[in-house]
């Protein structure tokens, strides 16, 4: 985990980002699926922002929209003070911002050797002058992630899941990025391998001064690597604070329920902890409830929660919560 930098200007600023997908619901009729619905946050240079939430909450879509892999429906992404809007802006941004995908089995081309997979971004961006320079850069990238030169001529299917993910990480580092969206990069790996890969992310951040948006549903993983954590529910941010604050004193009812479900290794503490049960199912983002998106499952909900969307507001320094009743229940 990096030290927080004190730059006043964030590296990445996400402002009122929306990502709606039109879904056919009948005869020539479409309805917007609001995967990401008006989220805003900053990521400072050198920090890791964890983005957590249950499956289907929109966190992966948010990461892809920030990189403009999906064209945002509304809102903007600002990189080093400059909005990323035009095709030229996006191309320039992509030289400095990359992604590590969730599944190393499907994100690597089985017909390409490791050397060609890692070298592909170098080819696309024309980042070398000679074949030797290309080869040296590929071997350097492989060394960064704990692979050696003998691995270069092998194919992805010859590797274990952890090694494949290392190949994916080496590929993401090829363009010398300063911002990486890590989309559940360890969820497909064995638990024993997860810690190794997370420690590698930490080491690479120190060595290469990287900034991460780390997307995951496993809160223990996120706590280990993140400086701050943003909690997402049904396309909205509901809480944003320092990683330890989120864990030690969650404020939003949804965050409390998520934290209460995290397993504790100490049986005495585990027995004393009361798990907060959420009632009901997550509503579909196609038919999101009016008002606060969490009111259908919230033990504190009152009629007013159904009427208007709570704004994400700063209730303590650096701590943002979207809840109408936070003063009463906090």
The CATH number of whichever domain residue 23 belongs to comes to 3.40.50.300
Q: How far apart are alpha carbons 99 and 277 in whole angstroms?
A: 34
Q: For residue 327, count other CB atoms closer than 10 A to its CB.
A: 8
Helices (H), 5-148: 59-66, 87-94, 114-125, 131-144
Would you say residue 151 lies in a domain? Answer: no
Range of the domain at 311: 12-96+177-188+210-329
Whether 136 is covered by a domain: the verdict is: no
Q: What is the pLDDT of residue 1?
A: 53
Residue 4 lies in a domain: no
Whole-number pLDDT of residue 22: 92
The two tokens of residue 269 are 């503490």
Two tokens, residue 239: 């809480």
Q: What is the pTM of this model?
A: 0.91
DSSP states along 187-216 = TTS-HHHHHHHHHHHHHHHHHHT-EEEEEE
Asked whether residue 272 is domain-assigned, the answer is: yes
**Residue 135 falls inside a structural domain:** no
* Burial call 150-165: b when 16+ CB within 10 Å, e when fewer: ebbeeebeebebbbbb
Say how many domains are in the chain: 1
113 in a domain, yes or no? no
Tokens at residue 197, please?
């890969």
Whole-number Å distance between alpha carbons of 152 and 167: 10
- pLDDT in single tens digits along all 330 residues of the chain: 544 444 578 999 999 999 999 999 888 899 999 999 999 999 999 999 999 998 889 999 999 999 999 999 999 999 999 999 999 999 999 999 999 988 877 878 888 899 999 999 988 888 888 899 999 999 999 999 999 889 999 998 888 889 999 999 999 999 999 999 999 998 888 888 898 999 999 999 999 999 999 999 888 889 889 999 999 999 999 999 999 999 999 999 999 988 887 766 656 655 656 667 677 777 888 888 889 999 999 888 888 899 999 999 999 999 999 999 988 886
Residue 71 lies in a domain: yes
- Does a structural domain hold residue 181? yes
């Amino acid at each position: 985990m990096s030290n927080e930098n004190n730059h006043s200007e964030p590296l990445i600023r996400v402002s009122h980002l929306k990502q709606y997908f039109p879904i056919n619901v009948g005869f020539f009729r479409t309805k917007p699926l609001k995967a990401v619905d008006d989220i805003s946050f900053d990521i400072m240079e050198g920090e890791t922002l964890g983005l957590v939430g249950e499956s289907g909450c929109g966190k992966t879509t948010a990461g892809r929209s920030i990189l403009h892999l999906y064209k945002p429906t509304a809102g903007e992404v600002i990189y080093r003070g400059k909005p990323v809007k035009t095709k030229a802006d996006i191309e320039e941004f992509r030289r400095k911002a990359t992604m590590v995908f969730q599944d190393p089995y499907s994100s690597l081309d089985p017909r390409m050797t490791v050397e060609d997979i890692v070298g592909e971004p170098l080819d696309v961006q024309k980042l070398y002058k000679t074949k030797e320079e290309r080869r040296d850069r590929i071997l350097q990238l492989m060394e960064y992630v704990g692979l050696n030169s003998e691995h270069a001529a092998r194919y992805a299917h010859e590797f274990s899941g952890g090694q494949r993910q290392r190949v994916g990480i080496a590929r993401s580092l090829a363009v010398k990025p300063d911002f990486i969206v890590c989309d559940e990069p360890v969820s497909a790996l064995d638990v024993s391998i997860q810690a190794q890969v997370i420690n590698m992310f930490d080491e690479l951040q120190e060595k290469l001064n990287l900034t991460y948006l780390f997307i995951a549903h496993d809160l223990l993983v996120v706590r280990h690597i993140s400086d701050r954590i943003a909690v997402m529910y049904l396309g909205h941010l509901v809480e944003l604070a320092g990683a330890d604050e989120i864990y030690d004193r969650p404020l939003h009812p949804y965050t409390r329920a998520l934290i209460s479900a995290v397993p504790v290794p100490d049986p005495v503490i585990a027995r004393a902890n009361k798990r907060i049960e959420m009632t009901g199912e997550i509503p579909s983002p196609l038919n999101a409830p009016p008002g606060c998106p969490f009111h259908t499952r919230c033990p504190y909900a009152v009629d007013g929660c159904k009427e208007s969307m709570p704004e994400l507001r700063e209730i303590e320094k650096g701590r943002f919560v979207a809840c109408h009743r936070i003063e009463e229940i906090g």
